[in-house]
Amino acid sequence: MFLKRFFFLAFTVLFASCRFSGENSAITNKKARDSALFYYKRSFDKTLTPLNQKKAINKALSYERNLEKDTLYVNILYQKCRLTYSLGEYDSLYIHDKILLQKASQLNDIPILARQHHLMGYYFDRVASLPDSAFNRYSLSKNYYSESKDSSWVGRILLSMGTIQKNHNDFYGSKETLTEALPFLKQQKNDGELARSYNLLATDHRKLLNFEDAVKYFQLAIEKAGSIEAKLGFENNLAATYIDDEKYEDAIEILQRISLDSSLEKTSAQYARVLDNLAYAQWLSEKEKSEEPFLGALRIRKTAKDNRGLIASYTHLGEFHSQDKPQMAKAYLDTVILLSKSIKMPRAEVDALRFMMVLEPANVQIRDRRIFLQDSLYAQETNVKTQFAHFKYENQVIQEKSLRLEKENAEKELEVTRQRNQKIVSFFGLALLLLTLGFVVYYLKQRTRRLAQENKTAKLEATLETEAEMSRRLHDDFGAGLNQVMLMVQSDTETSKILDKLEQLYGQSRNFSREINEVDTGTHFKEEFLEMLRFRTPENAKLYLSGNGEIDWDGLTPLLKTVLYKVLQELMINMDRHSKASLVTIGFEDSSKMLVVDYLDNGAGATKKELQSKNGLRNTEKRIQAIGGTITFDSVKGEGFKAHIQIPK
């Protein structure tokens, strides 16, 4: 007996301690999660320095590391990557990139994967200068954004990919990528990005010597330019295209206009580019034989330390003096070669060597150097183009596989749904009928019981007539529809047609329910009342309200609100069914003792005999009379319908 008691006591203590330990662990985890979330949000605080933002995200990461890995963890990792990138801590960026991709892939967090691949693509493009890696990460990001249906980012990333291809002379590939981007950019109506895309497409066509298409796209870029600076830049590019196409007069006209634009800063690299292109076009057209215009652009570029611009100036000066001053021309071209080597622009050196070969045709070293550079550039560009095509193909295969699996899963799900629908469709109509009938019976019983308590003959008559009208509609409209569904089921009609009919019946039952639902006479009565009027207004009709803002809706009694709601609902239903009006006006007037409502439509109208035969209109009279009010109808066939309502407050 003693041993039994001992073991029982020991087991109880052990169970209690385990339970306490579990509860304590749960509390600790919640505190850690709350702390991680707090520091994660703090890392976005723009008032903090980047280093303090980094400290905050590190703190969040330290709390989250010991918890179950979820979407908060990968979001913290992404913020960590963003901050390490902005601080230039690229070794840390590589490390956390690998961790994030692994965890986000496990969680299948598509938005985070899309953003992280874009961040790394941007890093490889703008910082590491690794075009193949940048293109690959951009391509992966594009696929994930496409999977998450974010078309705006798909367009932006395709624009970045096309830019990389253009910068590495893959003009055909760039043209294809940018053409793919255009529908997404047009959909977002982002004129700035659309203008950039047109400008890049134009540049691709210019490099491929398709000058007509280049001019067309430059003009589109100018049309969509979001700023004066961008517009002038695109116009300058258009002028350069005219120079390439030997249409010097068109180029000169554009460049002269740009050079006189007051918004263009006279010491900017852009202004120097305009001056240099203008001097070049005038010299080629034999309108200018002085080197001074070239030197003016050169001086600005030296001051601005625009090395790429200096290469263009020295190249043009070398070409300018190649006939009359070959030694000076060689000096300028030697400067181009030195500059191109210093900023790693071998293409500029190749162009300079081409002019040098004309000046020194017997110089074998110049010829061999140019051939070597051309071969190297060709091999490099071919390799880059191949990598671009390879990444694009691989990602396309992955995307097609994903779409194929998605399609197969959708087809399987559709087949399962079809089979399930075939089993339940024969029972659905009957169930819907029983539910509706049960609802109506329940409603009628509740309505009758309430009317018996109120002991008002006029109101009881109005209610009974309303119920009779509802019963008739239920039998004629809804019952006939359900009977048709049953016949369709028995005759093995296509499931889709049966479901369409059931959806139509569901819409009828919903509208029916709206009519018979209790009215909210509380603080939201006004919103519900006005919403009912808008809902009951047909699509081809316009509703105008006046005076409703001056009514003290909260001061009206619940009974008055209910009657007003039901009466105007009946008038709107009558208008929709019979008069087919295109214009409805309802005016409200509030006096100290009466609420006055004037209803008017321009519908088909009705004769006095027709007005007397309408059950709905008789119901409105009885409702108004039951609370001591009056309603008068005024209508002539073909001249619209009027109703004047007065209700004592």
SS3 letters for 252-286?
HHHHHHHHCCCCCCCCCHHHHHHHHHHHHHHHHCC
Domain 525-648 belongs in CATH node 3.30.565.10: yes
Q: Which two tokens stand for residue 612?
A: 């007397």
pTM of this prediction exceeds 0.85: no
Percent of the chain, pLDDT > 70? 79
Highest mean pLDDT among 182-191, 290-299, 614-623: 290-299
What pLDDT is attached to residue 158?
95
Instruction: Please give the Cα distance from 641 to 584 (Å, whole number).
Output: 10
- pLDDT tens digit sequence for 543-558: 999 999 889 888 889 9
Taking 90 as the threshold, does the pLDDT of residue 365 lie above it? no
With 70 as the cut, is the pLDDT of residue 472 above it?
no
Average pLDDT value over all residues in the chain: 83
pLDDT of 546 reads 93
For residue 475, what pLDDT is reported? Answer: 47
More confident residue, 196 or 31: 196
**Own/partner pairs, 355-359, CB within 8 angstroms, 24+ separation:** 355/315, 355/318, 355/319, 355/322, 355/329, 356/330, 358/322, 359/322, 359/326, 359/329, 359/330, 359/333
Region 511-525: what's the mean pLDDT? 69
Contact indicator for 212, 231 with CB cutoff of 8 Å: no
Q: What tokens were used for 519? A: 């009215």
pLDDT per residue over 414-424, tens digit each?
777 777 777 77
Q: Is the pLDDT of residue 206 over 80?
A: yes
pLDDT at 290: 87
| Rounded to 5°, angle at Cα 306 from 305 and 307 | 100
* pLDDT per residue as tens digits for the range 627-638: 889 999 998 888
pLDDT above 90 coverage of the chain, percent = 46
CA–CA dist 527, 548 (Å, integer): 11
Per-residue pLDDT, 455: 40
Using CB atoms within 10 Å of the CB of residue 46, give its burial: 0 to 12 exposed, 13 to 18 middle, 19+ buried. exposed
Whose tokens are 């200068």? That residue is 129
pLDDT band at 443 (very low <50, low <70, confident <90, very high): confident
Count CA within 13 A, CB hemisphere, residue 135.
27
Closest by CA position to 161, among listed 123, 116, 131: 131
Mean of pLDDT values over 266-292: 91
H-run or E-run covering 553: none
- Gap between the Cα atoms of 159 and 164, Å rounded: 9
Secondary structure element (H or E) that encloses residue 596, with its range? strand 594-601
Average pLDDT over residues 580-609: 90
Starting from the edge strand earliest in sequence, which strands make up the sheet with 594-601, in order?
542-546, 583-590, 594-601, 641-648, 630-635
pLDDT at residue 172 greater than cutoff 80: yes
CA nearest to 645, candidates 552, 549, 567, 532:
567
Instruction: Express each pLDDT in 301-357 by its tens digit.
Output: 999 999 999 999 999 999 999 888 999 989 998 898 889 888 888 888 888 888 888
DSSP string, 432-459: HHHHHHHHHHHHHHHHHHHHHHHT-HHH
Q: Is the pLDDT of residue 90 over 90?
A: yes
Residues 6+ apart with CB under 8 A from 242: 215, 248, 250, 251, 254, 281
Note the pLDDT of residue 30.
81
Which parts of 321-363 fold into alpha helices (H)?
326-342, 346-359
CA 573 to chain CA centroid, nearest Å: 39
- pLDDT band of residue 181 (cuts 50, 70, 90) is very high
**Whether the predicted pLDDT of 464 surpasses 80:** no
